[in-house]
Amino acid sequence: MQTQRLRIAIQKKGRLSKECQDLLKRCGVKFNMMGERLVVHSENMPIDLLLVRDDDIPGLIMDGVVDLGVIGENELEEVGLERAARNEPSDYKKLRRLDFGGCRLSIAIDKDATYNGPQDLQGKRIATTYPQLVKRYMDEQGVTFSPCMLNGSVEVAPRAGLADAICDLVSTGATLEANGLKEAAVILRSKAVLIQCTADLGAEKQALIDRLLTRMQGVIQAKE
Ligand code: PRP
Ligand code: ZN
Ligand code: MG
């Protein structure tokens, strides 16, 4: 399915969606978000926005289904590791790091527990949505652990007796605090990034991407 319109995948609803839409608008891409539509056509440029779950964006790029995507580095790296482990395509081009979506992926433990380093996590069960990133970190530290995969409510796992610790995104720290947890180790610092699929998109699309990137540079610099 070839199309001359540039396809950009963005998060439908969540921590990146508003700032991502704002960025595109500031870059001069006119569109009207309404209803529950999956595809939104720009009114003034040959661009289609695909509104999807953030978890799906890395795979859509790596399979070459869409041309560009905006995604958090945490999700991008997790999916990349997962796909590489299954021998599925995991390549992409990082066009630029953006100025929003900042967070850290951290291991958190009971606020009253002592923590002297990763060895204290030896043999523990860790609840997370990012098992690949946790495994990469723990392997680097030479520490073994048991995973507890949860797509949501990770922060309640210790209290619910499902896990000893968690590894989840931290932004303000309010979620950890509200759940009696404290940050023990930061394993990744993440921001939103603009990525492109590795396929050759042809001169016209590539010229449009280059134009968008130039505008983005200006928009981001103006905010600094
Ligand atoms: C993340 C994470 C925590 C929260 C941390 O969830 O899972 O719940 O943000 O932020 P804080 O440190 O500012 O409290 P997100 O908002 O991405 O939603 P999700 O849990 O539904 O994925
Ligand atoms: Zn997600
Ligand atoms: Mg959450």
What is the whole-number distance in angstroms between the Cα of residue 204 and the centre of ligand 2?
A: 32
CB atoms within 10 A of CB 103: 19
Ligand 1 atom with the shortest distance to the CA of 178: 14
Residue bearing the CA closest to ligand 1, atom 8: 175
Q: Which amino acid is at 18?
A: K
pLDDT at 29: 98
Which ligand neighbours the alpha carbon of 174 most closely? 1
pLDDT at 71: 98
What is the whole-number distance in angstroms between the Cα of residue 223 and the centre of ligand 3?
A: 28
pLDDT at 4: 87
Q: Are strands 146-149 and 125-128 parallel, antiparallel or unpaired?
A: parallel
For residues 26-53, average pLDDT: 94
What is the whole-number distance in angstroms between the Cα of residue 55 and the centre of ligand 2?
A: 5
List alpha helices for the chain, DSSP H. Answer: 17-26, 57-62, 73-85, 131-141, 174-178, 203-223
Residue bearing the CA closest to ligand 1, atom 1: 169
pTM above the 0.90 mark?
Answer: yes
Measured distance CA(184)–CA(187) in Å, rounded: 10
- Residues whose CB falls within 8 Å of the CB of residue 92, separated by 6 or more in sequence, listed in order: 58, 61, 62, 76, 80, 195, 196, 197, 198
Which ligand neighbours the alpha carbon of 167 most closely? 1
What is the whole-number distance in angstroms between the Cα of residue 188 and the centre of ligand 2?
A: 16
Question: In the chain, what are the domains?
Answer: 6-101+191-223 (3.40.190.10), 103-190 (3.40.190.10)
The pLDDT confidence band at residue 57, using thresholds 50, 70 and 90, is very high
Q: Which residues line ligand 1 (CB under 6 A)?
A: 15, 152, 154-155, 168-175
For residues 45-62, average pLDDT: 97
The label of the residue with tokens 């652990």 reads: 145
pLDDT at 80: 98
The pLDDT confidence band at residue 32, using thresholds 50, 70 and 90, is very high
pLDDT at 2: 59
pLDDT at 171: 96
Task: Express each pLDDT in 171-188 by its tens digit.
Answer: 999 999 999 999 999 999
pLDDT at 94: 98
In 3-state terms the chain splits into helix, strand, coil percentages (rounded to 5) of 35, 30, 40
What is the whole-number distance in angstroms between the Cα of residue 144 and the centre of ligand 2?
A: 26
What is the whole-number distance in angstroms between the Cα of residue 80 and the centre of ligand 3?
A: 21
Task: Express each pLDDT in 130-144 by its tens digit.
Answer: 999 999 999 999 999
Query: Which two structure tokens, joined as six digits, stand for 117?
Result: 């380093």
Ligand 1 atom with the shortest distance to the CA of 154: 7
For residues 8-27, average pLDDT: 96
Task: Express each pLDDT in 70-121 by its tens digit.
Answer: 999 999 999 999 999 999 999 999 999 999 999 999 999 999 999 999 999 9
Pocket test for ligand 1, best of 53, 71, 159, 169 (most atoms within 8 A of CB): 169
